[in-house]
Amino acid sequence: MKTKNKIHPWEITSESVYLDRRQFLLAAGLATAAGMTSLALPGQLMAATGDLESVQGPYSTDEPPNSWKDITTYNNFYEFGTAKDDPYDNAQEFRSQPWTVKVSGECDKPGEYHFEDIIGPHTLEDRVYRHRCVEAWSMVVPWVGIPLGDLLKRFDPNSDAKFVRFKTLHDPEQMPGQRRPVLRWPYVEGLTIAEAMHPLTLMVVGVYGKTLPNQNGAPLRLITPWKYGFKGIKSIVEIEFTSRQPHTSWEIANSREYGFYANVNPEVDHPRWSQARERRIGAGVFDEKQPTLMFNGYAEEVAELYAGLDLRKNY
Ligand code: MTE
Condensed to tens digits (0 to 9), the pLDDT of residues 204-256 reads: 999 988 899 999 999 999 999 999 999 999 999 999 999 999 999 999 999 99
- The three-state secondary structure class of 88 is helix
With a 6 A CB cut-off, is 77 part of the ligand 1 pocket?
Answer: yes
Q: How far apart (Å, rounded) are the C-alpha atoms in residues 130 and 229?
A: 10
With a 6 A CB cut-off, is 73 part of the ligand 1 pocket?
Answer: no
Range of weakest confidence among 40-49, 76-85, 126-135, 188-197: 40-49
Q: What is the pLDDT of residue 213?
A: 94
Q: How far apart (Å, rounded) are the C-alpha atoms in residues 267 and 315?
A: 11
Condensed to tens digits (0 to 9), the pLDDT of residues 262-314 reads: 999 999 999 999 999 999 998 876 668 999 999 999 999 999 999 999 999 99
Question: 234: CA distance to ligand 1 center in Å?
Answer: 6
Average pLDDT over residues 74-83: 97
Residue 236's nearest CA partner among 197, 203, 198, 199 is 203
Query: Is the pLDDT assigned to residue 73 strictly greater than 90?
Result: yes
**What is the pLDDT confidence band of residue 4, given thresholds at 50, 70 and 90?**
very low
Q: What is the pLDDT of residue 32?
A: 36
With a 6 A CB cut-off, is 80 part of the ligand 1 pocket?
Answer: no
Contacts of 51 (CB under 8 A, 6+ apart): none
Domains of the chain with bracketed CATH: 9-306 (3.90.420.10)
- What percentage of residues in the chain have a pLDDT greater than 90? 74
Q: What is the pLDDT of residue 285?
A: 66
With a 6 A CB cut-off, is 230 part of the ligand 1 pocket?
Answer: yes
Contacts of 4 (CB under 8 A, 6+ apart): 69, 73, 85, 88
**What is the pLDDT confidence band of residue 98, given thresholds at 50, 70 and 90?**
very high
The residue contributing the CA closest to ligand 1 atom 4 is: 77
